[in-house]
Homo-oligomer: A and B are copies of this chain.
């Protein structure tokens, strides 16, 4: 499954180079994750209510072209790896007006509880784990 969301860039996200500041792309990836879970009929905030957090442990992003203020962007999100205690997402940021790929990146996460201790997600929530597992691309 490929999660798809559209956002519009904000003035607050620009910098004095006249483009979107690069760190904001990771915020967009996070929006992509939230919407990916929603498309699977899960709410990321429900996972947190179940005492499961997904802190980021490794991220990367390559920037091909700059997003600018007021651009509409398509965020595409895929789950690319799922293990007992880890998962990985990949993302594409695409400018909606002309379908140009602006950036692509990944985030790796651990399943932990609120004390930030690792959780074996497969054991704790086998049904949700299966649902996620079937969505891998």
Q: How many A residues have CB within 8 A of the partner chain?
A: 38
Asked if A44 is at the interface of the complex by the 8 Å CB criterion, the answer is: yes
**A38 CA to B98 CA, complexed, in Å:** 20
Residues of A participating in the B interface, judged by any CB pair closer than 8 Å: 8, 10-12, 14-19, 21-24, 26-27, 30-31, 34, 43-45, 48, 53, 55-63, 66, 69-70, 114, 116
A21 touching B31 by the CB < 8 A rule?
Answer: no
Taking CB atoms, residues of chain B closer than 8 Å to A12 are 15, 21, 23, 27, 30
**A17 CA to B47 CA, complexed, in Å:** 12
B11 touching A21 by the CB < 8 A rule?
Answer: yes
Tally of this chain's copies: 4
Residue of B nearest to A38 (CB): B70
A-B pairs, 5 with minimum CB distance: A60-B60, A23-B26, A14-B16, A22-B56, A12-B27
Taking CB atoms, residues of chain B closer than 8 Å to A114 are 18
Rounded to whole Å, the gap between the CB of A20 and the closest CB of chain B is 9
